[in-house]
Structure 1
């Protein structure tokens, strides 16, 4: 009988300590505030000419030095300007892209180090 009581207490103690290990730790973690991207120009799925210019805006939490833009895996040179509500970013589609669909891909980090990405699709014609 004592062995059964001992085993019951032992099993309950093991389970209760395992459950305590899964306590809420969310209060000790910082929320990740990713950079946001808006005002894509030309808009998603627009038909554009080769070497057209594009632009978008980023949130104020974006680290401007971390902004990278590529189109069909080709890096694009960009211009970044500070505006009231963040940064205005502009660039030009690569000359090699003609008669194809291409995604303008954006990658950046926020000032707190959180990574964000976005983009939009364009149809490039001659």
Structure 2
């Protein structure tokens, strides 16, 4: 009789702690939604002249001012234009890149300050 009482008491005491271990679903509301980038122009690995314009689409960006573009660790001036819930981003390749390969690097913050990165490589002719 005492053994069954002790067993029942242990079962009752351990059930609530196991149920609380799963937590609430509020953590799913804090999920990170990173910005993504598409429609790169000129396309990946294209051969272009120095000073050529480039563009891409930035999606899922909560703050368009957070969009930054660098080429060879140098910031590049860009223009950000809203486009149906997304952003069209454009700029020009610096003239100093003539005769080299250049990766156009992109960073931006999405909802909940989730950082997204992207980019593509082009060959800049002399």
TM-score by length of 2: 0.77
Q: 2:5 maps to what in 1?
A: none
What is the total number of aligned residue pairs between the two structures?
107
In the TM superposition, residue 63 of structure 1 has moved relative to its aligned partner by: 1.4
1:1-126 counterparts in 2 under 5 A? Answer: 23-24=21-22, 27-29=25-27, 30-126=30-126
CA distance in 2 between partners of 1:92 and 1:26 (Å): 48
Deviation at 1:95, TM superposition (A): 1.2
Q: What are the ranges of 5 or more consecutive residues in structure 1 without an aligned counterpart?
A: 1-15
Q: Is the 1:62–1:86 contact (alpha carbons within 8 Å) kept by the matching residues of 2?
A: no
Alpha-carbon distance in 1 for matches of 2:23, 2:73: 39
- Structure 2: state its 5+ residue gaps: 1-13
Task: Name the one with the larger helix percent.
Answer: 2
Output one character per residue of 1:59-98: Cα deviation in whole Å (capped at 9) or x when no partner. Answer: 1434101010011111100001011130000000111111
Give the Cα–Cα distance (whole angstroms) in 1 for the partners of residues 22 and 57 of structure 2.
Answer: 37
Give runs of ≥4 in structure 1 deviating > 2 Å: 23-29
- Residues of 2 paired with 1:40 and 1:122: CA distance? 11
SS at match of 2:34: coil
The residue matched to 2:80 in structure 1 has which SS? Answer: strand
RMSD of aligned Cα (Å): 2.0
